[in-house]
Amino acid sequence: MSATPSAALASQSRLPSSLAIFADIEARIDRIIARPGDPEASAQALLQLGEQVLERWLEARGEVPTGEQREGFRLLALHRQGARGEPSFNACRETCRELAYYYNLIKLEPAHPDREKRVGLAAMVAKHLALFVSGKMQVAGLGEFCCAAKPLRAGGK
Amino acid sequence: MSEKTKKQEYGTVGYYPGCALEGSANGYDVSTRAVAKKLGLGLKDVKNWNCCGAMEVKNVDPKLQTYLSARVLSNAVNLDHMNTVMAPCNGCYHNLKKAEYDLKHDAKSREVVDELSRKARHKTYEAGQVETIHALDWIKETIGEEGLKERTKGKLAGLKVANYYGCMYVRPRHIFPEKDQGPGSESTSKPHFMDDLLAAAGAENVEFPLKTACCGGAHTLSDSDTSTRLVLNILQAAEAAGADVIATECPTCHTGLEMHQVRAEKRFGKKTSVKIMYFTQLLGLALGIGPRRLGIHTNISDASDLIVDKRLT
């Protein structure tokens, strides 16, 4: 399989910058959209990618991502942790809940005729989460998104 | 307020179009007025209204935004003698609700609003004098699904709709105390009023997972690429869900979806063909109002083929 533009971008970077990390996450989501494979495995992978997105947000804020669960999902516990002191982060609350909802649908209705379609929609929900959080991190000046800004942030070093 | 009284109260409402509906969202304004006329509902424009404070003022001074929204409510109650204000724009609706909440719960906000009202020489606004509602609440409460079914006779049959509410209609939850009150009330996690109204007019609502997801509206100038990618994902999700059209009820979202649909093709080579229309335009078509009277020709998204194909005129 040829690499997508975002995957190529991620592989070129030797440092795990925020840009490269999010590009990698998006590339992995795009691969699931292109070739869903086993629906339950894909749903599990999307849930984990969603968790990774929220972990990046928390780490960039200097917090240790929780290992706890909320309503049976670590994703929801991570979101709750990420929204503490940052009410605007609740703008992705329903996106997280939609991802958990689709995971349940895919897992609990294995014979449903729309199972593959549901994987596709779940992937788009996961992608939205990644885009939203990376956008918020850029606005908040968290992480390293722009190589041109790096010398400025590093104090000219 | 009882159900019967609520219907009577909403029969004629103070109308606060806000800045967007006088400009880029003119189609939302004309279609709201046309639908109101067809349904026999009264709209009385709030006299001498001003900007609600939107995002710009809020960023400079949140209390000033509270004052600007409070002034609109003060004019509605003191100049127009209305006790209900209907705001179709999500931003205006959100800000009026927020002002109401702040004035009810925060003494400092009351102090600032009283002081600025005194300086501007108009009566101050006191929490509870006016109820702010959205266009969705208004049609749902006055006409309802049964009323729309009778009037539209399933005119939108065969039209697949993805209902997109955006973020400001439901967030933050605490400023919308009437929502999440059980059956019949609107939900902040899975809003459904637009779904209900369009289904009553015969439309088929598709399962659309990004109903309240961010459209990137706030960053459309400062970080256009992120906004474009957020919108593209919404458009692609709507298409994957099988939608012919995305129904909107927020001018910021609507404009963002239209503009970034064009930009996504130019910037990223990603073409999507799902149409974008205000829910009032769709309801207007269902009620037999002509497309031009609904301002559909003023949308960037060209839905003329869809309207012909689905026999909506």
Name the band, by pLDDT with cuts 50, 70 and 90, for residue A12: very low
Name the band, by pLDDT with cuts 50, 70 and 90, for residue B106: very high
Name the band, by pLDDT with cuts 50, 70 and 90, for residue B2: low
Choose the closest CB to B171 out of A91, A102, A117.
A91
Min Cα–Cα distance to chain A from B173, Å: 10
Distance CA B245, CA B203 (A): 11
Quick: pLDDT tens for B141-163. Answer: 999 999 999 999 999 999 999 99
Fold that domain B6-133 belongs to in CATH: Glutathione S-transferase Yfyf (Class Pi); Chain A, domain 2 (1.20.1050)
Token reading at B76: 């509605």
Which amino acid makes up residue B198? L
Quick: pLDDT tens for B216-262. Answer: 887 777 778 889 999 999 999 999 999 999 999 999 999 999 999 99
| pLDDT average, residue stretch A127-156 | 69
B1 contacts: CB under 8 Å, gap ≥ 6: B9
Is it the case that residue A150 has pLDDT exceeding 70?
no
Residues of A in contact with B189 (CB under 8 A): 94, 97
Q: Where are any strands of DSSP class E within B50-198?
A: 84-86, 131-133, 160-164
Name the band, by pLDDT with cuts 50, 70 and 90, for residue B39: very high
Intervals of CATH 3.40.50.11810 along chain B: 144-309
pLDDT of residue B60: 83
Distance CA B257, CA A35 (A): 27
Residue with the larger pLDDT of the pair B58 and B67: B67
Residues of A in contact with B256 (CB under 8 A): none
Instruction: Determine, for residues B230 and A98 on separate chains, whether the beta-carbon distance falls below 8 Å.
Output: no
Q: How far apart are the first and last CA of chain B?
A: 38
Q: Where are any strands of DSSP class E within chain B?
A: 12-15, 42-45, 84-86, 131-133, 160-164, 204-205, 245-248, 275-278
| pLDDT average, residue stretch B107-112 | 97
Instruction: Determine, for residues B209 and A134 on separate chains, whether the beta-carbon distance falls below 8 Å.
Output: no
Instruction: Determine, for residues A124 and B216 on separate chains, whether the beta-carbon distance falls below 8 Å.
Output: no
Neighbours of B124 (CB within 10 A): 19
Quick: pLDDT tens for B167-220. Answer: 899 999 999 999 999 999 999 999 999 999 999 999 999 999 999 998 888 777
Q: What share of chain A is helix, strand, coil (3-state, %, to 5)?
A: 70, 0, 30
CA angle A118–A131–B270, rounded 5-degree value: 75
Distance CA A132, CA B226 (A): 8
Token reading at B253: 């979202």
Match 């996504």 to its residue by tokens. Answer: B264
pTM: 0.90
Min Cα–Cα distance to chain A from B214, Å: 7
Min Cα–Cα distance to chain A from B41, Å: 34
Quick: pLDDT tens for A46-94. Answer: 999 999 999 999 999 999 999 999 999 999 999 999 999 998 899 999 9
With respect to CATH, is domain B144-309 assigned 3.40.50.11810?
yes
pLDDT of residue B56: 75
Intervals of CATH 1.20.1050.140 along chain B: 6-133
